[in-house]
Amino acid sequence: MLMKKLALASALSAAFLVGCGSDDDNSSSSNDTPQNSTFTASKNADAQPIIWIGDFNNFDDAVALMLIAKDPRYTIELAVVEDSFNTVAHGANTVYNILEWLGNRDTQVIRGAYYAPEEVHYGANGTKAEGTAVTDSPALVGDIADYQLPNSNTNGRWNLERRNVMGINLYGQYVPGPWRDNGSTLYATDHLIPRAEQDNYHYNGNNGMSFKFELAEDMVLAELDSLGENVVVFNTGKLTTFARVLSKASPAQLNKIDKVIMMGGGFEGEIPFTEEFEREHNLGGNIFSHPSFGFASDFSTHQEFNILLDPLSAKVSFELLAENNIDSYLVPTNSTDLAKLEAHSIVDLAAPGATPEACYTSRLFQSIREFEGGDFPGFDGSPSGDFALDRVIRLWDIIAALVLLEPETLEMVVREGYVAVDQLDDGLENSEYRYDPISFDPMVGKTSFTEAGTGQPLNVVLGINSEKARLAMIERLRSSANAAVKGPSCD
């Protein structure tokens, strides 16, 4: 395997962490009532702009957002909120709250694309739709006509009840209801984050939800036009919007992208999805990862969520990134599966000198732990013995953030290659499993390496030092650099 590292300066990363855990004015001394004493984070003059596309629907999104918002080397210029198991408005306002709390005061937040490309072929029950138009004019995903905008009825086809067969309804099928609800409220801790106070930091639905609605990909491309070169695209959700961006972008717009980092996919036969890890199912997915599903193993499907929710857009994105020679990194479940939260992270985050965001994250992790099963053995600080944090929770999007921020620390094992994405077999509309694409086609959404491809291969991060990643997360959250002024205490 080829060992590679992102070209980021270790010295800058080390400088960011100066003062970590110190008992200075930025350390937590507030009470639990959110108070938003606004400040502006210090960013480098040459800070790289980030366009972030994600679902922002759970704890790992929130912590990843905190990590990147604190770093002076990056500015989050645009956040695109994809559909997930919470509402887009809820996710968008969570983004606003965290960003303003950490002094990031100029980020635009929009919603992602409404429908994935297969939407024009299937309804929610797997029945082929009659006609395809849900707008007056089609967008384009690869070479596929894609009717996207659901806010114009001039052609007489509203079709608002349609859902992509690989779309948001799958969250309802494959994630337990209480887990969805708790994820969207950050396990009942989102009230501890101060509310955003800026007038422009409240979600308005891409300039209104009526006839002024703008397509997400057009807004992303307009943002690219407004930025200089060296843009980072960071994608931690499905690739629905990003596939449209790549399909419609001009060469000049694509040339502005310095690198792309995506969290998604999983590769069977690569560590840890191998026999030596002694699981009943070693398939690389994370759909049936929760013990409440009754499976004996942590992961027992081929599919990872972000890819499963829109396999066609994933396929198009991977192909176009390679064809356009864009430096791209894919962070699959192979890297995240061994990156466990571990009970003693709760204690380590809350040690004396903690920042408000470190105290908050400690409380967030404790709430997750309680929701996932209560007080298990191991909470004395030992790294093992805690069923909830060992079997259920991974640092998913947090690892993707650290691939951007501290690639050297992670000791990444990277394999260059082209990635294939299994597409849904024909015939779903005639299947007894019309509501369940995985039962109909167990391979749909599976990622695998392929020899077929043109251009620059993807850099697939197949392994990391998970303990160093966990410690880097804690150290950065405890750093006084760009720490929150107010927030929950660790008392």
Residue 380 CB neighbours (<10 A): 9
333 vs 171, higher pLDDT: 333
**What per-residue confidence (pLDDT) applies to 176?**
58
Residue 351 CB neighbours (<10 A): 13
Segment holding 109, helix H or strand E: strand 108-111
**What per-residue confidence (pLDDT) applies to 208?**
43
pLDDT at 57 over 80: yes
Structure confidence by residue, pLDDT tens digits, 422-432: 988 877 767 78
Q: Give the pLDDT band of residue 14 (cuts 50, 70, 90).
A: low
pLDDT at 239 over 90: yes
Most confidently modeled range among 89-98, 331-340, 476-485: 476-485
In 204-264, which residue ranges form alpha helices assigned H by DSSP? 216-226, 240-248, 251-254
Most confidently modeled range among 57-71, 170-184, 306-320: 57-71
- Residues with Cβ within 8 Å of residue 174, at least 6 apart in sequence: 287, 288, 438
**Mean pLDDT across 247-271:** 95
Q: Give the pLDDT band of residue 17 (cuts 50, 70, 90).
A: low
Rounded to a whole number, what is the distance in angstroms from the first to the last CA of the chain? 47
**What is the reported pTM?**
0.86
**What per-residue confidence (pLDDT) applies to 278?**
67
8 Å CB contact between 120 and 129: yes
213 vs 420, higher pLDDT: 420
pLDDT at 169 over 50: no
Among 128-132, 252-256, 265-269, 481-485, which is the least confidently predicted range?
128-132
Structure confidence by residue, pLDDT tens digits, 142-161: 666 654 443 333 333 333 33
Cα–chain center distance at 41: 23
How large a percentage of the chain has pLDDT more than 90?
A: 47
**Mean pLDDT across 54-73:** 95
8 Å CB contact between 324 and 258: no
3-state secondary structure of 384: coil
Q: Give the pLDDT band of residue 80 (cuts 50, 70, 90).
A: very high
Residue showing tokens 């070693």: 282
Among 112-116, 245-249, 289-293, 305-309, which is the least confidently predicted range?
289-293
Q: Give the pLDDT band of residue 175 (cuts 50, 70, 90).
A: low
**What per-residue confidence (pLDDT) applies to 344?**
86
- Sorted by where each starts, the structural domains of the chain and their CATH numbers stand as 10-16+47-339+394-478 (3.90.245.10)
pLDDT at 76 over 70: yes
Q: Which of 392, 264, 410, 379 is nearest to 340 (CA)?
A: 392
**What per-residue confidence (pLDDT) applies to 8?**
42
Q: Which of 220, 160, 187, 173 is nearest to 61 (CA)?
A: 187
Structure confidence by residue, pLDDT tens digits, 278-309: 666 668 888 754 444 555 445 568 889 899 88
